[in-house]
Amino acid sequence: MTVTTLTPAPTADYEAVKTKQQAAWDSGDYAVVGSTLQIVGEQLCETLDLRAGATVLDVAAGNGNATLAAARRFAKVTSTDYVGHLLDKGRARAEADGFKVDFQVADAENLPFDDGAFDVVVSTFGVMFTPNQERAAAELLRVCKSGGKIGLANWTPDGFIGQLFKVIGKHVPPAPGLASPARWGDEAALRDLFPDAAAIDVTRRRFMFRYLSVDHFLDVFRTYYGPVHKALIALGDKAPELEADIRALIASLNVATDGAMVVPSDYVEVVIRTA
């Protein structure tokens, strides 16, 4: 009789992955890219019907797009990220606009706040990149009060950014056992991540990446967007192969006909109501 031995699925070393991710997001200057996404935070706060005086936590806030959107609605905002210099960018923006915001370095998988501390918890293209996704989802639920709301904006697996990460993954494979960040852009997966939610509403939306040209986009992402920046460095002499694949992806999606780059990228806007 032949005995088949099953090889166990690899388990991700979350702490090692997190350290590498943090270094990636700390490289370049994500704020240059992040600032172009401001409209997403504004739309999310409108969808949440965010009220003045509400206590709001922005998780993996980056340079503060959702933070500023909430502050403009006179919410009491706490803005967090595990990359300190990105919070510095958000702080400068808030000060320039005259908003009082509490900025605090914090890990999305281990938030330093009491249970039920916030009326609303938000994250735009942030928490979806945590390595331990179940832990991060549980933390969002924990710090949101009963009957509160969690608002998320997450790239979809089939949208431009989801496809971009697949292209990068072909050249620089992700750590074994690590779930794709684009999982947060799938409705069924979201229901698995938040099984105890009272309700989950998912709306598919579209953001347009607008750049002077494909060369302009590549120059910005090569220089400032941590994951692309780090991938190209890691590839060394093979970096042009990744750039060529990114160009091919953009060519397949670009709707501009005048030499510019206008690429639609689908994302899901998620409102989770806590039990």
Q: How confident is the model at residue 7 (pLDDT cuts 50, 70, 90)?
A: very low
Residues 176 and 190: their CA atoms lie apart, in Å, by 22
pLDDT in tens, 185-225: 999 999 999 999 999 999 999 999 999 999 999 999 999 99
Q: What is the pLDDT of residue 12?
A: 78
pLDDT in tens, 90-127: 999 999 999 999 999 999 999 999 999 999 999 999 99
User: SS3 for 180-243, per residue?
Assistant: CHHHHHCHHHHHHHCCCCCEEEEEEEEEEEEECCHHHHHHHHHHHCHHHHHHHHHHHHHHHHHH
Percent of the chain clearing pLDDT 90 (strictly above): 87
| Average pLDDT of span 130-141 | 97
Q: What is the pLDDT of residue 74?
A: 98
Q: How confident is the model at residue 21 (pLDDT cuts 50, 70, 90)?
A: confident
| Average pLDDT of span 18-23 | 84
Domain residue limits, the chain: 14-273
Confidence check: pLDDT of 138 > 80: yes
Q: What is the pLDDT of residue 145?
A: 98
pLDDT in tens, 62-86: 999 999 999 999 999 999 999 999 9
pLDDT in tens, 144-158: 999 999 999 999 999
Residue in the structure block whose two tokens are 């992806």: 249
pTM of the predicted model, to two decimals? 0.93
- The third-level CATH classification (topology) of the domain covering 14-273 is Rossmann fold (3.40.50)
pLDDT in tens, 245-262: 999 999 999 999 999 999
